[in-house]
Amino acid sequence: MKIPYIHFTDDQKRRAGEVDLEQFLLRQGERLLPSGFEKRLASDHSITIRGNQWYDHAAEQGGGPISFVQQFYNLSYPEAVTRLLGGEQGTVYVPASKREVKEKKAFALPPANKDMRRMYAYLLKNRLLDRDVVSAFVREGLLYESCEKFRGGFNEYHNAVFVGKDTSGIACHAHKRSINSTGKTADSETDGEDFQDYEMSPEAMEEILQDKMLEENEERVEEIEEVLTESDIADEVEVSFTAQYVKLTMNGGLLFDSGSAQLKDDAKLIIDKVGLILERYGNAGTIEIEGHTDNVPMKSAQYPSNEELSSARALSVFYYLMDSTTLNPLNLKHAGMGERVPIADNSTPEGRSRNRRVEILIYNPSQG
C-alpha cells in the first residue's frame, strides 16, 4: 500500500507553529490551572503552558504547538498540523511507483589480442598520437587491443580499449574505440553499461597521462619525505615535484667549498643516503643531475666560468653515485646549468646562496 505524502506550505507550518496553546487547549476541553505567569495542565501537573510554548518538567523537554499536539494527543506530524489549523489540510501527493531495478551485468574486460599491431598503427597513423604516450598507457595497463567476436561468433573485430581503474588498481570501466578505418565501435556480446564509445584526442590522452603521472609523483614524494626524515637529512634535502619528475635539491655550500667541485666528506654522507633513495625510486627511469651557480663571475684558472663549475659539480655527484650505488649508468645524466636557472634573487646573499645548488631529477617511468 502506498503511503501518501502530505505537503504543507510554509505559511501553513508558520501558522500552526504560532497557535496559542492556552486557547487551543481550552477549545479541546482541557482544564488549565494558574501557575504564576504560566498555566498548568490539570490532567498532568508536570506540563506548563505559556503562549505557544510548553514544557514538561518531569521529562525535561518542551517545544512549540506542533510537537505538543504530536506528543500529548499521539498524532503524526500531518495530523497535528491539521488539528492546529482547525481542520485545514495540506496537499496530498501519492508517491510514484518504484522503478524496477535492472540487474547490472557484471563488468569484464573484453579479451585481449595476442599483439597490438593494429592498435598502434591506428593510433599513430590515423590519430597521430605520440608513440611514447601510447606506450606509457600500455605499460600502465590502461590501454590494449581487444579481439572480439560479432554476434554469431564467426567473424572477429578489434578495438582499442581504454581501461579505467579504481584506487586499488582494479579495472572497473572501459571505453572502446574501433581501430578500423571507419572509426565506428563494433557491437559485441560483452558490451554493457560500463563500455562506451569514446573519441579521445591526442590532447585528452596527454592530459590523462599527465594527471596520472602527477598523482604517482605526489605519492612518491610523500614516501621520499618519510625516508629523508628517518635518515635525519630532511633539513638538507628539499623535495618538490611535477608530473614529469620528483626533484631533490641540495645546497651547494653543503656539498662543496667555494669555487670547488670536490665533494666535502660530510656531503658524501648525505649523498650516500640520497643514493639509497635513488636506488629505490629511480631505477625504473631516467635520473638527471644538474649543477647550478649564482651569477657572480668565476675567477679561477681551473673553472673560468660558472658553466664549467656547475658542470664539474654535477659530474662529481654523478661519479660518486656510480661508485657507491647500483644505479644503471645508462639511466643517469648530468648537466651544468651555470647561472641560467636561478630560483632566487641574485642581488642578495641569501638569494645567491639558494641559487648555488645541485638538483637531482627522478623522472617518472611513464615519461617513456
Residue 182 in this model has a pLDDT that exceeds 50: no
193 and 223 in a single domain? The answer is no
Q: What is the pLDDT of residues 23-60, one digit of tens each?
A: 888 888 888 888 777 888 888 878 888 888 888 888 77
Percent of the chain with pLDDT over 70: 84
Confidence of residue 166 (pLDDT cuts 50, 70, 90): confident
268 is a domain residue: yes
Q: In angstroms, rounded to a whole number, what is the distance separating the alpha carbons of residues 160 and 178?
A: 6
48 and 169 in a single domain? The answer is no
3-class SS at 92? Answer: strand
Q: What is the pLDDT of residues 41-50, one digit of tens each?
A: 888 878 888 8
268 and 347 in a single domain? The answer is yes
188 and 243 in a single domain? The answer is no
Q: What is the pLDDT of residues 236-266, one digit of tens each?
A: 999 999 989 999 999 999 999 999 999 999 9
**Nearest one of 268, 256, 266 to 325, comparing CA atoms:** 268
- Which pLDDT does position 96 carry in this prediction? 52
- Which pLDDT does position 205 carry in this prediction? 64
Residue 19 in this model has a pLDDT that exceeds 60: yes
156 is a domain residue: yes
Confidence of residue 95 (pLDDT cuts 50, 70, 90): low
Confidence of residue 104 (pLDDT cuts 50, 70, 90): low
Could you give the number of structural domains in the chain? 3
60 is a domain residue: yes
187 and 78 in a single domain? The answer is no
240 and 277 in a single domain? The answer is yes
Please say whether the dihedral angle defined by the alpha carbons of residues 183, 185, 187 and 188, taken in this order, is positive or negative: positive
261 and 133 in a single domain? The answer is no
Provide the whole-model pTM: 0.51
DSSP 95: P
Residue 63 in this model has a pLDDT that exceeds 80: yes
> Which residue segment(s) compose the domain that 27 sits in?
5-93
- Which pLDDT does position 362 carry in this prediction? 95
C-alpha cell at 334: 648530468
50 is a domain residue: yes
